[in-house]
Amino acid sequence: MEVSELIWILSAGFILSNSTVLGLVFLVAKSSNRRANIFLGLFFWSIAGNLLNDLLSEFQINEGLGVSLFIVEPFLLNLPLLFLYLLATMNKEIRTWHFLLFLPGVLHNVLIRAGGLFLEEGVTTIFETIVYFLEIVLLVYAYSLLQYHYKRIANYYSDLENKTLTWLKSIFALNVLIHLLSISTFIGDLSHMEILEFSIDTFAISLTLFMVFWTAYNGFSQPEIFKQHLSLTTHNLGSTETTILKKTRDVNLEKDVISTLEKNRTTNVIKDRAPSSGEHSLRPEKNEPQFGGGKPMISELDIQRFNAIKELIQEQELFTKPKLTLRDLSEVADLKEKELSRLINECGQSNFYQLINGYRIEKFKVLSETSKAYELSIWGLAMEVGFTSKSAFFSLFKEHEGMTPLQYQKTQKKSS
């Protein structure tokens, strides 16, 4: 046995054993994402099954015994299992048609069984190549779902830690890449190019090793998202008007909102209703987000409601609650979540995540000029204003201020 073969066998055996154990753990362990973890456990077992078949083929055990120890070739089941994990984690309904994604894998196994195990390098390779292009379609669809998911959580959560699912993008891509490497060794005859064949096999097994442990690392810490569906009809549109805020004070429109309206003093009653057709409307700026294929018309009432909501957030310092959600704010403001989100999107030209963390950054800047700046570290101050993730805080601060928090504090000391 050559050294290259020994390295591959040891690596495959290591991944096989770990994938088997990890699959069992995800299947039986209690977690906050248990329903989705069933699919992730089966995903690990699918990887283990594929490596087991490769090892049986490498040792030529089937030929030696004269019987096939092959049970199932699960490689084409990997991506569908990962896709169902994505749906379950996002708390989206898994429909009947989603299980049709397993059909290519089932047909692949039927073809192998029909012609014998060693037909895999012939007819089934053509079938596998066709399926590969279908996997790319599924990859694109999964990416579009993840993009939609990000927009959804940014409109609902003030912290996105363990919620973006961006790690799944790399796992989907790795599966497609590993499959491509597998197909390439069959389509092209590499038997006379041992170095190239060894390089491809080594690269593929290395990617598989990384994929297994990266998936396990993220899977263990991944909670289910949106355990409760968004309550978009909490209040009845035809019900009596509800007052969320009464104020007698200046309404100062901030620079991130349409700044063409200012009132000296107003007594503002925010009503949980849509503006009537007779109310004055303003055309949004060019970069205003579009809804329903056209530019939204922002009424004076909407701007007043949005400013009253911002005053509520500032006066009660709601942003200091680390896990503040759109639902929390809607309950305090006595507004439907959908209506509140619309006001933030259209009047604030931002999402809930950006709005709340903008206030957190401003509060951090205020605290940086007080005695607390000497008592607490930069991260300590960030936690005081509601941040729960270091990386998110530093990234948002740099995006908001164009400098790091430390640079900002040094600048303030120089100017004082």
Over residues 285-331, the pLDDT tens digits come to 334 333 334 456 788 899 999 999 999 999 999 999 999 999 999 99
Q: What pLDDT, on the 0 to 100 scale, is given for residue 295?
A: 56
pLDDT higher at 369 or 262: 369
Mean pLDDT value of segment 388-409? 92
Nearest to 176 by CA among 150, 126, 142: 142
pLDDT higher at 205 or 191: 205
Q: What pLDDT, on the 0 to 100 scale, is given for residue 176?
A: 92
pLDDT higher at 75 or 363: 363
Mean pLDDT value of segment 130-156? 92
Q: What pLDDT, on the 0 to 100 scale, is given for residue 197?
A: 75
pLDDT higher at 52 or 125: 52
Q: What pLDDT, on the 0 to 100 scale, is given for residue 192?
A: 66
- 165's CB contacts (< 8 A; 6+ apart) are 86, 89, 90, 146, 149, 222, 225
For 399, the token pair is: 């995006």
Give me the percent of the chain exceeding a pLDDT of 70.
Answer: 74
Residue with tokens 């709340």, as numbered in its chain: 356
Dihedral sign for Cα atoms in the order 103, 105, 106, 108: positive
Mean pLDDT value of segment 219-242? 55
Q: What pLDDT, on the 0 to 100 scale, is given for residue 82?
A: 96
Residue 50 predicted with pLDDT over 80? yes
Q: Are 327 and 393 in contact (CB under 8 A)?
A: no
Q: What pLDDT, on the 0 to 100 scale, is given for residue 290?
A: 38
Q: What pLDDT, on the 0 to 100 scale, is given for residue 125?
A: 65
Q: Are 318 and 332 in contact (CB under 8 A)?
A: yes
Mapping DSSP to helix (H, G, I), strand (E, B) and coil, where does residue 276 land?
Answer: coil
Domains of the chain: 3-221 (1.20.1070), 240-274+298-350 (no CATH), 352-416 (1.10.10)
Q: What pLDDT, on the 0 to 100 scale, is given for residue 415?
A: 76
| Tens of pLDDT, residues 53-67 | 888 877 765 555 544
199 confidence band (pLDDT: 50, 70, 90):
confident
pLDDT higher at 342 or 69: 342
| Tens of pLDDT, residues 210-230 | 999 999 999 998 887 766 554
| Average pLDDT, rounded, for the chain | 79
CB count in 10 Å sphere of residue 380: 12
30 confidence band (pLDDT: 50, 70, 90):
confident
Mapping DSSP to helix (H, G, I), strand (E, B) and coil, where does residue 244 land?
Answer: strand
Nearest to 111 by CA among 156, 155, 76, 66: 76
